[in-house]
Structure 1
């Protein structure tokens, strides 16, 4: 019988890598901001940068407050299965691959269903693309923890799981830049690069809903969502906010969802709206705006 894991076991053995890395990431973003200004590249806009920074800092402190709840949920799932996977270097690599596979589907569902789009849109509603864009992590993204429970069900140790998860999140930082262009072919074939991720953030017609990979781009190649960068991306979302209010940037799609649900008289249809395509939500919100006029 495997040994039960407690919350204290995980909290004492899983360092908060993102918290430690935050000052370095902010420093690098400020450095990129400076070079962008110096070279007149206009990659940054002051209000947009401070909106991204505010959203990111709130997200870091929020995670500190609720991590015990999230850790507890994952630990509980791990403890209820009778099997476990040994902790060593090669099983840790397998865990990272398995987690990246789950992150691909979590990310894809974050674009294909209104409920999870509401937890992800914050990351896309900037018309700039720079290192500070990586700070835009929604304050409601914790709902996506359901996509990562298979890692615990498979028997991977929670400490390994959380360390792998944090490494995957940190990987996302460097790919949010215009300064790094094309990398060697073997890297582009296996890994998500800035070129791939610029496509993902683009609202060009053939860039929409492409390149969901987190660390590895191979999942997009396998599941038919890969798109190479063949033109300059136009950043932002179709229903682009015209403000830099961090609270509105985090919650505006939730507002769209609740307005649509309120207008729907049938409770079952109202719930189903949560799982419809964001495109339908976008069209419905346009109709509601026209009616209000």
Structure 2
């Protein structure tokens, strides 16, 4: 019979890498900001940077509470299944690869389903692309923990999952830059690079809904969502906010979803709005709103 793992044991055995890395990430973003200003590039805009920084700091502080809930669910699933996978270097790498596949689908559905888009749009609603863009992590994105349940169900140790998850999040930091042009071909064939991710953040027609990979770009190549960088990306979203309010940047799609649902003619239509594609959302004119 396998030994039950508690949340306390996960927290004590797996350090919070993101919390420790935060000062270094902010420092590197400031250096890139300075380099952009010194070389007269337009990678940064002061208000946009402060918005990204505000969103990121709240996310880190919020994570001190919400991670317990998120990993509590992962832990609960692991403890109720009767099997487990031994922990060693091979199974740890296997856990990371399977986790990355789950992250691909979490990311992809985050662009295809309204309520998941609401948890992800914050990461895209900047017209700049720089290291600070990686700080734009929605305060509601913990909903996507449902995509990671298979990891626990398969029997991977939650401590291994916790570490792999943090490494995957940290990998995302360096790919948010225009400073790095192209990586070697062998690397770009397997791994997500800044070039790949600039495409993902572009709202150019041919770039929309492409390159969902988190660490490995191979999933996009296999599943038909890969697009190489052919022209400069135009960053932001189709319905681009014209303000720098961090709270509105986090919640504006949630507001649109619920306003659309309130105008639905039936419960079934409201449900379709909630799980429908982002293209189905309509802007409700002020004079027609019920709020």
Range of TM-score over shorter length: over 0.9
Residue in structure 1 matched with residue 150 of structure 2 by the alignment = 150
Distance, in Å, in 1 between the alignment partners of 2:91 and 2:203 is: 38
Residue in structure 1 matched with residue 257 of structure 2 by the alignment = 257
Residue in structure 1 matched with residue 33 of structure 2 by the alignment = 33
Residue in structure 2 matched with residue 24 of structure 1 by the alignment = 24
Residue in structure 1 matched with residue 60 of structure 2 by the alignment = 60
Residue in structure 1 matched with residue 182 of structure 2 by the alignment = 182
Residue in structure 2 matched with residue 130 of structure 1 by the alignment = 130
- Out of 281, 285, 289, the residue aligned to residue 285 of structure 2 is 289
Distance, in Å, in 2 between the alignment partners of 1:147 and 1:12 is: 25
Distance, in Å, in 1 between the alignment partners of 2:249 and 2:119 is: 11
**TM score, norm. by length of structure 2:** 0.98
- CA displacement at 1:292 relative to structure 2: 5.0
Distance, in Å, in 2 between the alignment partners of 1:32 and 1:21 is: 17
1:97-176 residue pairs with structure 2 within 5 A? 97-176=97-176
Distance, in Å, in 1 between the alignment partners of 2:7 and 2:179 is: 41
**Equivalent residue of 2:285, what SS?**
helix
Q: What does the per-residue CA deviation read over 1:95-117, in whole Å, with 9 as the maximum and x for residues that have no partner? A: 00000000000000000000100
- CA displacement at 1:43 relative to structure 2: 0.5
Residue in structure 1 matched with residue 13 of structure 2 by the alignment = 13
Distance, in Å, in 2 between the alignment partners of 1:142 and 1:67 is: 8
Larger deviation, residues 256-265 vs 62-71:
62-71
Larger deviation, residues 3-12 vs 160-169:
3-12
- CA displacement at 1:265 relative to structure 2: 2.5
**Equivalent residue of 2:242, what SS?**
coil
Distance, in Å, in 1 between the alignment partners of 2:11 and 2:142 is: 18
Structure 1, unaligned runs of 5 or more:
none
- When the two chains are superposed, the root-mean-square deviation of aligned CA atoms in Å is 1.1
- CA displacement at 1:246 relative to structure 2: 0.2
**Equivalent residue of 2:176, what SS?**
coil
- CA displacement at 1:176 relative to structure 2: 0.2
**Equivalent residue of 1:166, what SS?**
helix
Distance, in Å, in 1 between the alignment partners of 2:130 and 2:17 is: 22
Q: How many residues in Structure 1 have an aligned counterpart in Structure 2?
A: 289
Residue in structure 2 matched with residue 225 of structure 1 by the alignment = 225
Structure 2, unaligned runs of 5 or more:
none
Distance, in Å, in 1 between the alignment partners of 2:102 and 2:190 is: 17
